[in-house]
Amino acid sequence: MTQKWMPPIYWEGEAVAILDQRILPQREKVICCTTPEQVIKAIKTMAVRGAPAIGVAGALALALGARSMRMGDAREFTRKFSLLCNKVKEARPTGANLAWAVERIYSVVVENPRASVKELQNLIKVQADAILTEDVAVCREIGRWGSEVVPKGARILTYCNAGALATADYGTAVGVIRSAYEKDPTVQVYSCETRPFLQGARLTSFELMRAGIPVTLICDNAVGSLMSQGKIDMAVVGADRIAANGDTANKIGTYMVAVLARTHDIPFYIAAPRSTIDPTLPDGSGIPIEQRDPAEVTHLCGRRIAPDGVIAINPAFDVTPNKYITGIITEVGVLRKPFGKAIRKALEE
């Protein structure tokens, strides 16, 4: 029997429910967060992950935190709320959507200087809910635009997980795949396993299988060989932060896929909402790259696989220079080169 699909993050009554992605696909367990600190921990430990989903989690954390602030003085509320905003923003550094969501929520406080604490709490909750629901609508639009660049019967390569699990639902790169598959059930997917956290092996293959979309799992180091054999028609991946010139940070290993795609004349697309674009960065050199615990590299599923004491590094993201990117699929269309101009225009819409 097909199990019901569970979104990665949603309100469960007064609590924020987070599907624990660290233990998927073996177990489908939901963490119930009643405090913003619990949501921050879920973001840091990657129980919830993927740039848009982290943005939604940050927004819901702020709604939870605002509700629990019991002081009657709006100035005192604003001071405490801004400290919480900073804490949420710092939970993970690379994805632009977290800071975007925090700033969008905080602007409610700035724009309503005469509001009471109760009114601010309500406005913050409304804004957080809007971020959650808009994300699903935005992903569907990304899917719709993206499906137009997918050739008939395409064999599509994707990397990491830019699916329903990485957003409020539906997905960005996987949204493109879902939408393409609805039009043409002959498309098929190669999902890279994505060491060290295995988002591709554990999450992308899981959600594509659940959607009934044909998927083949490959090791990350099989990409070049498959491309050279003519077995890949296009690649589409998500993004964590896109600079003003189109340089794109995504999961470590994405750059390698993009270079291989160029070598083999295979179109390489980024799929992301406009909230992933950081227009304050002229290019990708300023994108902060999260360095995670080396134990994620030396251990696999909690078991040591490398010699005790070996030095390991664990950069979680890399930056793909814009020259390797064929197009950036957003909710307002597919942006083409020169990306600087196309991005400016997309942000004005």
Could you list the active site residues? 240
Q: Binding ligand MRU by CB under 6 A: which of 33, 42, 51, 120? A: 51
Q: Binding ligand MRU by CB under 6 A: which of 109, 239, 242, 257? A: 239
CB nearer ligand MRU, residue 178 or residue 251? 251
The span of 22-30, 48-56, 110-118, 258-266 binding ligand MRU (CB under 6 A) equals 48-56
Question: At closest approach, how far in Å is the CB of 95 from ligand MRU?
Answer: 6
Q: Binding ligand MRU by CB under 6 A: which of 121, 172, 205, 330? A: 172
CB nearer ligand MRU, residue 181 or residue 255? 255
Q: Which residue number places its CB atom closest to ligand MRU?
A: 238
The span of 46-54, 109-117, 222-230, 331-339 binding ligand MRU (CB under 6 A) equals 46-54
Using rule CB under 6 A, residue 330 touches ligand MRU: no
Using rule CB under 6 A, residue 52 touches ligand MRU: yes
CB nearer ligand MRU, residue 51 or residue 187? 51
If binding means CB under 6 A, how many residues of this protein chain bind ligand MRU?
17
Which 179-218 positions form the footprint of ligand MRU (CB under 6 A)? Answer: 199
Which 240-279 positions form the footprint of ligand MRU (CB under 6 A)? Answer: 240, 250-251
Question: At closest approach, how far in Å is the CB of 76 from ligand MRU?
Answer: 35
The span of 149-157, 222-230, 235-243, 296-304 binding ligand MRU (CB under 6 A) equals 235-243
Q: Please state the three-class secondary structure of the chain as a single string.
A: CCCCCCCCEEEECCEEEEECCCCCCCCCCEEEECCHHHHHHHHHCCCCCCHHHHHHHHHHHHHHHHHHCCCCCHHHHHHHHHHHHHHHHCCCCCCHHHHHHHHHHHHHHHCCCCCCHHHHHHHHHHHHHHHHHHHHHHHHHHHHHHHCCCCCCCEEEECCCCEHHHCCCCECHHHHHHHHHHHCCCCEEEEECCCCCCHHHHHHHHHHHHCCCCEEEECHHHHHHHHHCCCCCEEEECCCEEECCCCEEEECCHHHHHHHHHHCCCCEEEECCHHHEECCCCCHHHCCCCECCCHHHHEECCEECCCCCCCCCCECEEEECHHHCCEEEECCEEECCCHHHHHHHHHHC
By CB under 6 A, name the binding residues for ligand MRU: 49-52, 95, 160, 162, 166-167, 172, 199, 238-240, 250-251, 316
